[in-house]
């Protein structure tokens, strides 16, 4: 049961691209194979129910809410999993280098880490932590939603309201997946 150890698997892309579903599928797959698995989620993401990872299509998986990587590492020391999932990694608090060194600690303990996170915020600016995780991943998957204007692969989660704070939790009523071309068109209309 230990052939698959110490690997970093990263699922990224826009909202509604299936990142969380892919993370769930990976974690469940390892669990069925007899690995001890734990899923974590930053506590800021309180959409839907607490203590469950819920995808936009409303499937769910139990998870532990954490504020930062240190809290996550404490749980891992205590529970000694073989595989962990971290959903919405862009919402973990604390400095990026601390998160990265925490993830290296896990990998060095032969724990496989499956991560899902948004590549960019609603303005098309990369999330630092995901930007740092992508090159060091053993397996990297970029997922795409469908552009709601033209049906191309989407590129960004465009925010429909005028709010400008970077982190604003919301589902399909707050954001729409757009391809780069439609996003730029939309942006030029509002400027
Ligand atoms: Zn489009």
Secondary structure letter of residue 19 according to DSSP: H
Ligand 1 centroid, distance to 46 Cα (angstroms):
30
Segment (H or E) for 108: helix 96-108
Q: Model pTM?
A: 0.88
| Model pLDDT, residue 164 | 72
Locate the domains of the chain by residue range: 8-144
Does CATH place domain 8-144 in 3.10.310.10?
A: no
CA-CA distances (angstroms) from residue 190 to 141, 161, 186, 187?
A: 32, 11, 7, 5
Q: Residue 27: which pLDDT band, with cuts at 50, 70 and 90?
A: very high
Q: How far is the CA of 160 from the centre of ligand 1 (A)?
A: 15
pLDDT tens-place string over residues 75-125: 999 999 999 999 999 999 999 999 999 999 999 999 999 999 999 999 999
Task: Respond yes or no: is residue 176 known to be catalytic.
Answer: no
Q: Over 50: is that where the pLDDT of 1 sits?
A: no
What are the residues whose beta carbons fall under 8 Å from the beta carbon of 80, sequence distance 6 or more?
36
pLDDT at 45: 55
Q: Please, which residues have CB less than 5 A from ligand 1, an ion? A: 147, 149-150, 152, 179, 182
Please tell me the predicted confidence (pLDDT) of residue 59. Answer: 59
pLDDT digits over 174-187, tens only? 889 999 999 999 98
Residues of 159-172 as b/e, b for ≥16 C-beta within 10 angstroms?
beeeeeeeeeeeee
């Amino acid at each position: 049961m230990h052939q698959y150890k110490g690997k970093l698997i990263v699922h990224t892309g826009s909202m509604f691209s299936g990142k969380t579903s892919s993370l769930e599928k990976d974690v469940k797959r390892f669990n069925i194979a007899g690995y001890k698995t734990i899923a974590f989620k930053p506590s800021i993401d309180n959409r839907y129910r607490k203590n469950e990872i819920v995808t936009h299509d409303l499937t769910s998986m139990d998870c532990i809410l954490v504020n930062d990587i240190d809290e996550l590492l404490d749980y891992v020391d205590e529970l000694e999993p073989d595989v962990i999932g971290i959903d919405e990694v862009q919402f973990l608090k604390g400095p990026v280098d601390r998160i990265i060194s925490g993830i290296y600690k896990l990998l060095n303990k032969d724990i496989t880490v499956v991560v899902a996170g948004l590549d960019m915020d609603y303005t098309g600016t990369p999330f630092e932590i995901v930007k740092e995780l992508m090159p060091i991943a053993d397996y990297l998957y970029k997922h795409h939603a469908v552009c709601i204007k033209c049906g191309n692969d989407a590129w960004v989660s465009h925010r429909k309201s005028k709010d400008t704070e970077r982190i604003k939790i919301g589902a399909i009523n707050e954001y729409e997946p757009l391809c780069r071309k439609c996003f730029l068109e939309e942006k030029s209309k509002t400027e």
